[in-house]
A and B are shown apart, each in its own frame.
Chain A
């Protein structure tokens, strides 16, 4: 899927300049005015029943949720991350909010104009806009638009149907393909996996279901935009992607959120299943509201993402560009079960001002000759703290397993922190595990060199940072690479001078 070098450069060049257009405040801080239908405030069995009823779920789904809720009540939030998390009052929030437009639309054109405007303001004129405008030859991207908690439109569904790809909101999937959802839901991230995943299992509002049948190469990249919109509404997205034998799918996930003073909780769960010879590429650009310069407000992003490489030679690649959120707790992982299966994790995490990130991955090698590759680039600025936490575990049966890990940290300024916390557990003597790590400050020589060529200081920093992240950015699909590059520049604004 990677593009020729020259083409990438062509696309990136004009964006590099745009990336640093001075914007002193969060550009996407606005509220869209669509009538909400709230669940009662607070979290109880009643809330869980409300959500399930609202979605017209079958009984088994309600039971599944209730079981999760009861388990969650007995669990404690994790304390091991290098994060300072203020106490969260789970009763002081809404767990369900949905726009009042119904029923499902055929295309985004039929979308509530207010919602359309919201997307436009988000500056998401990626390929989707071209697609919507009917531009000939536009690269096709199917969008399952999640506005707050409910999927309001799904495009390209028909075309995907032709090749047998199921691409639905998870609520629809529960109604239309209950047997499939029931078989896979919670099979990679069990209900009681962790505090936040358990909470999600009880109250997940919507999300995406994808099934790519045997031997099918998904004809387009699948894309979902999440967006928190209602005040005090937690987002509990649930994503389930199943790639059957010999299939391929690339999935893009991007988020932006409007400005709010209240801290908002986002606890998503993503489960990926790759069967024999299947490949899933999952790309995220995360730009939730990070809070203001004093550290007020911002999203708590507590996400559980895990892939099961079940079949032989299956492959899962996670790429994430994390620039937003006040607190990020996120470890997209791969369980490498099938022989010769491959897991990859490419990450850029940027923290500025008072942001905190504790993010990384887990590569669990179970099958013989499984391979994993971890490339992590952390950038800290302001008074932020940025930790890479990664586990590489080679099980006794993982003969000939290999891992390569590279963690690079870049510091901007002298009040921020970068931490690398690798865990390596090897229980098979034939395994080969490599770990490389660097921490550096942005070089004054590089900065002056770029400035002496005409780049303002912030633009010089953005360019150097983009170079630092290149290895990760180039694994993104092109639409995302451009957006990610912009975001890097924007999120580091005010970090110099």
Chain B
């Protein structure tokens, strides 16, 4: 089991958001977590990535059998966990390329691997940027500085490709995208996916799932998974909404 979440309770500012969440993800699987606003979707993403202020009050999470919750955020990244942010932040004065290369090397250092060579890095940058339609001039600018919403999301997909994690947690990767950009981002996710990897897609809408085929779909309501199923569940939610799950 790659990711095993058991009875996870988490609070933000003393308010309990996750109330006993269970989820198991195996390599090769794509799980979609769907649910209305305020159900705890983003909280789940932040808790898994280790954001400060998201306090786990009960339960356990293991990643490849290791206790994820005892690891610092950067250790989780080095172990192969990636968070695609819903709102990617801007870091002025730090170019996207510098940021990415620093991140890759920090992860490698954490794993006891040698640094990536400048040539290898640039070669991979060119390949992945081309696939996502990001131009090099943009990547030389500050991290996400002056990027449109769509460009930010494509940049997240670009970082996903470059960092090569094993588990990608993608928080609303589709929000703010027009249909063309959505296809590009979905293409990035599909290229990333493989038998040794897994994706946790956190999404509000069905439309991303038209392009990224999930193996599992879960409904998150009020801090718990209330229903799980296959792709057909997403379609049903699209037509019926979340009302039937409301207590």
**Residues of chain A having any CB pair with chain B under 8 Å:** 5-6, 9-10, 12-14, 16-17, 443-446, 448-457, 459-460, 463-464, 466-471
Query: Can you name the residue of chain A whose Cβ is closest to the Cβ of B142?
Result: A467
Is B134's CB within 8 Å of the partner chain A? Answer: no
| Residue in B83, B90, B102 whose CB lies within 8 Å of A13 | B102
Known pairs A9-B97, A456-B74, A463-B99; A449 contacts B89 (CB<8 A): yes
Is the CB–CB distance between B91 and A450 below 8 Å?
yes
Question: A466–B94 Cα gap in the complex (Å)?
Answer: 7
Is B146's CB within 8 Å of the partner chain A? Answer: no
Question: A9–B136 Cα gap in the complex (Å)?
Answer: 14
Is B101's CB within 8 Å of the partner chain A? Answer: yes
Which of B18-26, B28-36, B105-113, B173-181 lies at the interface with chain A? B105-113
Number of interface residues of B (CB under 8 A): 42
Is the CB–CB distance between B109 and A453 below 8 Å?
no
Distance from B35 Cβ to chain A, minimum over Cβ atoms (Å): 22
| Residue in A13, A16, A17, A456 whose CB lies within 8 Å of B72 | A456
Most buried by B among A443, A449, A456: A449
Query: Can you name the residue of chain B whose Cβ is closest to the Cβ of A9?
Result: B98
Query: Can you name the residue of chain A whose Cβ is closest to the Cβ of B140?
Result: A5
Residues B52-108 near A (CB distance < 8 A): 52, 72-74, 76-78, 82-83, 85, 87-95, 97-107
Known pairs A9-B140, A17-B102; A467 contacts B94 (CB<8 A): yes
Known pairs A17-B106, A17-B109, A463-B102; A453 contacts B89 (CB<8 A): no
Other than A448-B49, A452-B73, A454-B163, give 9 A-B pairs with Cβ distance below 8 A. A449-B85, A453-B106, A454-B103, A459-B74, A460-B74, A466-B94, A467-B92, A467-B93, A467-B143
Residues of B within 8 A of A450 (CB): 91, 99, 103
Is the CB–CB distance between A453 and B110 below 8 Å?
no
Residues of A within 8 A of B88 (CB): 449
Residues of B within 8 A of A17 (CB): 102, 105-106, 109, 115
Is B203's CB within 8 Å of the partner chain A? Answer: no
Distance from B229 Cβ to chain A, minimum over Cβ atoms (Å): 30
Distance from B151 Cβ to chain A, minimum over Cβ atoms (Å): 16
Is the CB–CB distance between B91 and A467 below 8 Å?
yes
Q: 10 shortest A-B CB distances, which residue pairs?
A: A467-B93, A470-B93, A467-B94, A454-B77, A454-B107, A453-B103, A451-B73, A454-B106, A449-B89, A445-B89
Is the CB–CB distance between A6 and B89 below 8 Å?
no
